[in-house]
């Protein structure tokens, strides 16, 4: 039973003595002990693991490793990977204990967060019994002030993207009960994802400075009626170019903004997020991602710890692979697509984006077309991306509708070029003409975030303008949002179908007005730094904003 663990451990470069100690601990198999000592344990760990700034991220399956000595089996992913198994297990053990405990009171929604003195544990149940936990160190001196919901959204995003490309973790585990496939996929995927948070060799998770942003939402381009009709016309033509009567889907982006989608809101969010991370012209040319504007200019770097960089990634990938060979897949190597690997997409001659990260079809040199799973229909789709200057058109074609693989895909692409290229060109031209630049949605005097929860849409002041806010304002808003999050989740439990109306105005320490308004599933957060003394003034300012930019949604009084 321990055979496989030993194999893993030895590959990870653990000494025999370490393994022995670990084995002893596992033999004890008493989770209660773990719970008692957990906090100390983590403290100790964090002090030693300075290289990672105290950030840990783990994914584990409560259904696995339920027997004594099999505890390691639970672990599907752990970052940093070079942490000792005992440490990993202790983190996971604590989390598991808390989940089990809180489930007694709240079976449907176990704990969301543990606030310890020096750490926050943010929980996210990605799939039934598959949990993701992020442990972040609190550090009063630094910028380390988070909002739990923002961190949870990071977990949610990486998981959603993972599912989109690889299917659910549970499905992977069921396909290969040894867990090797799931582990290797998760490892490369999450590591690639985390590179985007890398700033100057440190992971920068969303902090209070990002409180005028909402992860897991889509940013849309505002277009006029005629342009919108033209876009829709293009969308219909694209879909009609798809083979047979199958339901194709499409997304149209201009710059980093969504113009049109035919997908469900959740699928839209996922594909939009991926597009902005890896497909849009900006992410193609700069190799940077849009989320962390802070790291603009810094090159994709290799972290000395080796945990995130490509090289070590592949090394660990191999280790997982060999670990996996033991049960029954002797000597069988398989390719793991790494959709989030940086700089792997490029524009082909025909305007379609190509990547080799999905490997090639057996017996050919043509790169395989990536596929994604749609959440809503649970259908696998080919991902075809066409780019015309700043316009990105993502076409999703059901795999089931293409009989002869790559050949069929290239025929569809040809058809798309023939029927729609003129429309694409026209739409791009039209949108370019109306494009107001990166600061198009800046409203002077206001720093705002506008969310439509029904449609997962948000709009915010451009990041460059948000940076002009003082730290005090941002901290106040972060705090306010935290309060609103709590209030919202409480209201949700009371009556999930009844939207809460809420209005909060706070005078921050620096005399800025920090405002939140919620109504009918729409949220408006706002900082007014150069506002007048009176509350009436602030209220008027919101009213004006609402009437002007939100169709009066927020001006009911």
Partner 1 sequence: MSAKALNSQPGVALGGSGTLSHVYIQHPPLRCTIPGSKGLFYDDGNKLLLSVTSDQVFAWKTVPLTPPDAPSCDSIGEGPVLSVRYSLDAKVLGIQRSNHEIQFKNRETGEALIHRCRLESEIILGFFWIDCPTCDVVIVKTSGLDLFTYEPEVKILRLVETKKLNVCWYVYTHESRMVLLASGMQCKTFTGFQFSSGGIIRLPRFDMAMAQAEVNKKPVLAAEDVHIVTIYGRIYCLQVDRVAMLLHLYRFYRDAVIQQGSLTIYSSKIAVSVVDNVLLVHQVDAKVVILYDMFADSRAPISAPLPLLVRGLPRANASSSRSSINDALHIETNEMSDHEGSVYGEGWIFLVPDLICDFVNGFLWRIHLDLEAIAASNSEVPSILDFLQRRKLETNKAKQLCLAITRAVILERRPVLMVARAMDVLVNCFSHSMKMGGARRTVSGESTSTPTTQHGNNSRTVVDDPMSRVQTHGRSTKHEPATVSGVVSESIHYRTKDVDNESLGLTTFSTIDRSSTLLVSHSEENVNLALQNTSSGEPLQKPLSSEFHDLGTKEGIKSIDAGTSDVEAEQSSSESQLSPSSSRFDSNVSVESQVPSAAISPDEMYCSVFALIEEEMAGDPAYLVAIIVEYLRSAAVEKLKVHPNLYVLTVQLLARSDRYAELGLFVMNKILEPSKEVALQLLESGRQNLPTRKLGMDMLRRLSLHHDYVLLLVQDGYYLEALRYVRKNKVVILKLERLTEAMVNVQVNTIRPSLFLDATISSNDLQHLAAVLRFFSDFIPGFTNTSDHETYYRILNEMNSSVAA
23 versus 455: smaller Cβ distance to partner 1: 455
Supply the minimum distance, in Å, between the C-beta of residue 170 and partner 1: 26
**Residue whose C-alpha is closest to residue 195's, from 275, 358, 309, 279:** 309
Distances (CA, A) of 256 to 83, 210, 272, 284, 290: 37, 18, 9, 11, 8
- Encoding tokens for residue 315? 């090394």
Which sign does the torsion angle of CA 140, 144, 145, 146 carry?
Answer: negative
311 versus 551: smaller Cβ distance to partner 1: 551
Q: Within positions 413 to 442, which residues make up the interface with partner 1, using CB under 8 A?
A: 419
* Contacting residue, 25, 103, 520, 544, with partner 1 by CB under 8 A: 520
Q: Does 546 bind partner 1 (CB under 8 A)?
A: no
272 versus 373: smaller Cβ distance to partner 1: 272
Q: Which residues lie across from 258 on neighbouring strands? A: 220, 253
CB neighbours of 505 closer than 8 A, spacing ≥ 6? 513, 514, 515, 535, 538, 539
**DSSP alpha helix (H) spans, 365-524:** 405-434, 463-466, 471-494
Query: What binding mask, one character per residue, do residues 85-124 give for partner 1 by CB under 8 A, x or -?
Result: ----------------------------------------
Tell me phi and psi for residue 106, to 5 degrees.
Answer: -135, 85
Supply the minimum distance, in Å, between the C-beta of residue 377 and partner 1: 10
Supply the minimum distance, in Å, between the C-beta of residue 232 and partner 1: 5
Q: Does 552 bind partner 1 (CB under 8 A)?
A: yes
Whether residue 147 contacts residue 478, with contact meaning beta carbons closer than 8 Å, is answered with yes
Whether residue 399 contacts residue 405, with contact meaning beta carbons closer than 8 Å, is answered with no
Q: Does 265 bind partner 1 (CB under 8 A)?
A: yes
265 versus 339: smaller Cβ distance to partner 1: 265
Between CA 357 and CA 161 the distance in angstroms is: 16
- Encoding tokens for residue 371? 């596929």
Between CA 529 and CA 223 the distance in angstroms is: 30
Q: Does 311 bind partner 1 (CB under 8 A)?
A: no
* Contacting residue, 86, 260, 283, 288, with partner 1 by CB under 8 A: 260
1 versus 536: smaller Cβ distance to partner 1: 536
**DSSP alpha helix (H) spans, 248-337:** 265-274, 281-286, 310-325
What's 113's DSSP letter?
A: E
Whether residue 359 contacts residue 344, with contact meaning beta carbons closer than 8 Å, is answered with no
Between CA 385 and CA 528 the distance in angstroms is: 41
Supply the minimum distance, in Å, between the C-beta of residue 512 and partner 1: 27
Between CA 54 and CA 57 the distance in angstroms is: 10
Distances (CA, A) of 267 to 164, 238, 257: 8, 19, 16
Region near partner 1 per CB under 8 A, out of 16-24, 65-73, 234-242, 533-541: 234-242
* Contacting residue, 414, 501, 509, 537, with partner 1 by CB under 8 A: 501
> How many residues sit in the footprint of partner 1 (CB under 8 A)?
35
Whether residue 259 contacts residue 231, with contact meaning beta carbons closer than 8 Å, is answered with yes
Region near partner 1 per CB under 8 A, out of 24-32, 50-58, 180-188, 219-227: 219-227
Supply the minimum distance, in Å, between the C-beta of residue 471 and partner 1: 35
Pairing relation of β-strands 345-347 and 257-261? unpaired
Indicate the Cα dihedral angle 261, 266, 267, 272, nearest 10°. Answer: 70
Q: Does 246 bind partner 1 (CB under 8 A)?
A: no
Q: Does 521 bind partner 1 (CB under 8 A)?
A: yes
Rg (CA), the chain: 25
Whether residue 206 contacts residue 213, with contact meaning beta carbons closer than 8 Å, is answered with yes
75 versus 541: smaller Cβ distance to partner 1: 541
Between CA 86 and CA 401 the distance in angstroms is: 48
* Contacting residue, 31, 100, 264, 539, with partner 1 by CB under 8 A: 264
Length of the chain: 557
- Encoding tokens for residue 514? 């920090």
Q: Does 455 bind partner 1 (CB under 8 A)?
A: yes
What's 556's DSSP letter?
A: -
Region near partner 1 per CB under 8 A, out of 31-39, 172-180, 505-513, 515-523: 515-523
Q: Does 160 bind partner 1 (CB under 8 A)?
A: no
136 versus 252: smaller Cβ distance to partner 1: 252
Q: Does 229 bind partner 1 (CB under 8 A)?
A: yes
Supply the minimum distance, in Å, between the C-beta of residue 426 and partner 1: 11
Cis preceding linkage at 105, omega within 30: no
140 versus 225: smaller Cβ distance to partner 1: 225
**Mapping DSSP to helix (H, G, I), strand (E, B) and coil, where does residue 398 land?**
strand
* Contacting residue, 108, 117, 141, 226, with partner 1 by CB under 8 A: 226
Q: Does 281 bind partner 1 (CB under 8 A)?
A: no
Q: Does 557 bind partner 1 (CB under 8 A)?
A: yes
Supply the minimum distance, in Å, between the C-beta of residue 427 and partner 1: 11
Q: Does 239 bind partner 1 (CB under 8 A)?
A: yes
* Contacting residue, 87, 261, 288, 546, with partner 1 by CB under 8 A: 261
Query: What binding mask, one character per residue, do residues 164-203 give for partner 1 by CB under 8 A, x or -?
Result: ----------------------------------------
Supply the minimum distance, in Å, between the C-beta of residue 454 and partner 1: 4
Between CA 23 and CA 86 the distance in angstroms is: 9
Query: What binding mask, one character per residue, do residues 326-345 give for partner 1 by CB under 8 A, x or -?
Result: --------------------
Q: Does 54 bind partner 1 (CB under 8 A)?
A: no
Site of interaction with partner 1 (CB under 8 A): 223, 225-226, 228-230, 232-233, 236-237, 239-240, 245, 247, 260-265, 268, 419, 454-455, 497-498, 501, 519-521, 551-553, 556-557
């Amino acid at each position: 039973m321990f055979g496989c663990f030993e194999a893993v451990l030895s590959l990870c470069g653990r000494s025999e003595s370490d393994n022995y100690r670990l084995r002893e601990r596992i033999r004890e198999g008493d989770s209660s002990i773990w719970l008692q000592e957990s906090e100390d344990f983590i403290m100790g760990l964090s002090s030693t693991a300075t290289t990672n700034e105290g950030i840990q991220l783990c994914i584990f399956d409560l259904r696995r490793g339920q027997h004594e000595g099999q505890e390691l089996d639970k672990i599907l992913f752990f970052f940093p990977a070079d942490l000792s198994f005992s440490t990993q297990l202790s983190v996971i053990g604590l989390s598991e204990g808390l989940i089990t405990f809180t489930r007694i009171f709240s079976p449907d929604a176990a704990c969301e967060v543990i606030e310890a003195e020096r750490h926050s544990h943010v929980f996210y149940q990605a799939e039934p019994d598959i949990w993701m936990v992020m442990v972040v160190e609190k550090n009063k001196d630094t910028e380390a002030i988070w909002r739990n919901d923002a961190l949870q959204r990071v977990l949610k995003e990486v998981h959603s993207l993972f599912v989109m490309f690889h299917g659910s973790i549970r499905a992977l585990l069921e396909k290969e009960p040894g867990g090797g496939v799931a582990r290797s996929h998760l490892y490369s995927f999450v590591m690639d994802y985390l590179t985007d948070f890398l700033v100057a060799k440190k992971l920068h998770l969303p902090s209070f400075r990002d409180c005028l942003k909402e992860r897991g939402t889509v940013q849309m381009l505002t277009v006029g009626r005629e342009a919108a009709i033209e876009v829709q016309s293009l969308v219909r033509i694209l879909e009609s170019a798809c083979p047979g009567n199958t339901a194709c889907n499409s997304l149209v982006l201009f710059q980093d903004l969504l113009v049109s989608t035919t997908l469900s809101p959740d699928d839209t969010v996922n594909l939009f997020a991926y597009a902005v991370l890896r497909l849009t012209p900006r992410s193609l040319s700069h190799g940077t991602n849009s989320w962390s504007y802070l790291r603009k200019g810094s090159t994709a770097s290799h972290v000395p710890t080796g945990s995130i960089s490509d090289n070590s990634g592949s090394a660990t990938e191999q280790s997982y692979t060999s670990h996996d060979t033991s049960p029954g897949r002797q000597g069988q190597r398989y390719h793991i697509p790494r959709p989030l690997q940086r700089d792997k997409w490029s524009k082909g001659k025909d305007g379609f984006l190509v990547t080799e990260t999905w490997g090639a079809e057996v017996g050919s040199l043509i790169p395989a077309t990536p596929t994604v799973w749609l959440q809503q229909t649970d259908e696998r789709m080919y991902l075809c991306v066409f780019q015309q200057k700043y316009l990105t058109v993502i076409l999703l074609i059901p795999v089931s509708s293409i009989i002869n693989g790559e050949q069929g895909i290239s025929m569809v692409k040809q058809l798309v070029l023939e029927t729609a290229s003129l429309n694409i060109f026209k739409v791009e031209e039209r949108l370019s003409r109306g494009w107001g630049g990166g600061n198009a949605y800046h409203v002077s005097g206001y720093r705002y975030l506008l969310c439509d929860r029904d449609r997962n849409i948000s709009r915010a002041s451009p990041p460059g303008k948000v940076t002009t806010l003082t730290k005090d304002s941002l901290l106040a808003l972060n705090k306010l949002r935290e309060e609103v999050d709590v209030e919202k989740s409480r209201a949700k439990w009371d009556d999930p179908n009844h939207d809460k109306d809420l209005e909060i105005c706070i005078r921050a320490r620096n005399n800025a007005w920090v405002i939140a308004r919620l109504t009918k599933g729409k949220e408006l957060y706002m900082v007014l730094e150069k506002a007048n003394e009176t509350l009436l003034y602030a209220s008027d300012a919101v009213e004006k904003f609402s009437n002007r930019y939100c169709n009066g949604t927020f001006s009911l009084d």
